[in-house]
Structure 1
Amino acid sequence: MSPYRLADPELEALLRDDAPCGDATTFALGIAGRPGRMVFRARSDMVLCGSEEAVRMGELRGLTALGPVRASGERLAAGAEILTLAGPAGALHQVWKTAQTLVEYLSGIASCAADIVAAARRADPDAGIACTRKNFPGTKAAALKAVLSAGASPHRLGLSETLLVFAEHRAFLAGEAPAATVARLRRRWPERPVVVEVGDEAEALDWLAAGADVLQLEKWPVDAVDRLRRAIPAGSRTRLAAAGGIHPANAESYARAGAGILVTSAPYFAPPRDVAVSLTSD
């Protein structure tokens, strides 16, 4: 099921960017008003994302969806039909490449994120996959739709909604003890979990003792994650989040080592999943 659809102003901006003054070719050929249809199909196996936006782009240009539309989050086999749009050739050509490219890029993100989720949950059915805010600037809403469609979640929607203490923050704390830092954060933002990124096992144990809710282990090897998990006292509510370099090939190992949360940027750099588009005259 699709988590949401991008708003019309965002879709209008994408369409205007590609055709600010209409489509010169269909106009010059005199075919803009001729009826036709456009079919999108998966060229390879994928987790789909962006089909709702493709349909809405068509509607904004006077096109009509024919038949069922596959939903974001569905896993498709190569050759599967995604959607069909019908209407005048001028509108079909205006929507074609923008809609196709959006679906390809978002399906690439969704497919990679879904592969990481599947790998991690082979080791731990409760593992959580959180995708960072390292999406290309200006694409957050679209990228997060792909992440959510894949069964993952956002690591941070932005600086305004999470407490994540980096070494770069601690450099300004004048040597304040970890326990004092955690207590101060809990007084100021009592409903927010305190997450602390730690660079080594000694730091991790200090912040564990201070009561951090989550220890974020940046680029830790799998065996170090496993050692830290074994060092956490029984009954502790502190969770471990492995971050940095997490991808489909190693997600299972990190989850098996005890990282209940895997923090990753890999989906944003995944290659697009090709979508085949055919246009025909009615």
Structure 2
Amino acid sequence: MVPAAAPDSAPLFPTATPAVHTACVLGDAELARLLADDVPHGDLTTAALGISPMPGRLSCRARQPMTLCGVEEAVRLLTLAGCTVRQLAASGDALAAEAPILEAQGSAAALHRAWKSAQVLLEWSSGLASAATELVAAAAPLPVACTRKTPPGNKALAVKAMRGGGAVMHRLGLSESLLLFAEHRRFLAEPPAATVARLQGALPEHKLAVEVHSAEEALVWARAGAEILQLEKFSPAAVIACRDLLASHELRPILAAAGGIHPGNAAAYAASGARLLVSSWPYSAPPRDVAVNLAPL
């Protein structure tokens, strides 16, 4: 039996527009692809039930404490599906359990079309942002820089999540910073000082960072003129020893501890003499649960 049409009622949000406090980093084309991926040829169940034109409402709330991320994209995604949306929180907000995130109204077809894509987007990006928040708190007062080890195909939203959690980006890509790896140096046949001089001469507006794997290697590159040393997989005690060795030679480059840093050891690294913690740990975070309620008006 085809359900009877729902009675007319006043719109839930007659003049509502999303209260966007941070920019969407996914454009309409990318969001439309998310919808098309989930509903490529229509919603078979909703259509077969005959409920597609019935008006309904949807609400999202935090099921657990979280740093919210992706709400602006979720609002736009629901809007593209044909819903009217009211945004109740912004990316970067610290939400308690049960805190409201957004509300939407539209036809059952529009709401069901966007429901799961919006929920997954919120849960995944809020998981990353919440993990970044946890790491930043554990490392305080040192800044945390997250690597470009973003999930493939999801860089823009992952970067938004890291920033929403209070971290900065270590490198967005290879185009904007100088970071000399051992993998680069294997192609060279010149002293470290010559390499440093060439890079600083070619790109004088950039600081040169060099990744090193021992205190002795750090001393070589600090003497050569590197301004930043990225200490790869040094323990906190090894960072202290490296700092003291460099200071004994009156060398004080910026030390960035990298590799294996997480909330359980961030405080020890923060006390080691490093000026910056570099980590990819937040990218492995589980999603944060977002509760969705969808019902007729």
Same-fold status (TM-score > 0.5): yes
The CA deviation at 1:2 is 2.9
What is the percentage of aligned positions where both structures have the same residue?
A: 56
1:93 and 2:108 equivalent?
Answer: no
- Residues 3 and 149 in structure 1, CA contact (< 8 A), matched pair in contact too: no
Q: TM-score, length-normalised on structure 1?
A: 0.94
**Alignment partner, residue 250 of structure 1:** 265
* CA deviation profile, 1:54-111 (whole Å, cap 9, x unmatched): 1101111121123x42100011111111111111111111111111111111111101
Shift of 1:44: 0.8
CA-atom RMSD in angstroms:
1.5
Cross-structure match for 1:25: 45
Equivalent position of 2:8 in the other structure? none
Gaps of 5+ in 1: none
* Total equivalences in the alignment: 276
Q: Which residue of 1 aligns with 2:167?
A: 152
Name the larger-Rg structure. 2
TM-score by length of 2: 0.89
Matches of 1:231 and 1:237, distance apart in 2: 10
Aligned to 1:173: 188
- What is the letter of the counterpart of residue 277 of structure 1? V
- CA shift, 1:172, in A, is 0.7
CA contact (8 A) 2:43 2:113 kept: yes
Structure number with the bigger relative contact order (C-alpha 8 A, sep ≥ 6) is 1
One-letter code aligned to 2:171 = R
Give the Cα–Cα distance (whole angstroms) in 2 for the partners of residues 87 and 98 of structure 1.
16
| Partner amino acid, structure 2, of 1:73 | G
SS of 2:92 mapped into structure 1: coil
Counterpart position of 2:57 = 37
1:197 to 187, 211, 214: 211
Are the equivalent residues in 1 in contact too, given 2:215–2:245 (CA < 8 A)? Answer: no
Equivalent residues of 2:258, 2:277 under 8 A apart: yes
Deviation of residue 233 (structure 1)? 3.4
Cross-structure match for 1:70: 89
Q: Which secondary structure state, in structure 2, belongs to the residue aligned with residue 257 of structure 1? A: coil
SS in structure 2 at match of 1:138: coil
Residue 237 of structure 1, CA deviation: 5.5
Q: Equivalences for 1:104-253 in 2 at 5 Å?
A: 104-121=123-140, 125=141, 127-174=142-189, 176-233=190-247, 238-253=253-268
Using the TM superposition, give the Cα deviation of residue 3 of structure 1 relative to its aligned residue in structure 2, in angstroms: 5.4
> In 2, are the aligned partners of 1:42 and 1:276 still within 8 Å (CA)?
yes
Distance (Å, rounded) in 1 between the aligned partners of 2:23 and 2:228 = 27
**Conserved 8 A contact 2:25-2:156:** no
**Per-residue deviation at 1:5?**
3.3
Report if the CA contact (8 A) 1:4-1:145 is conserved: no
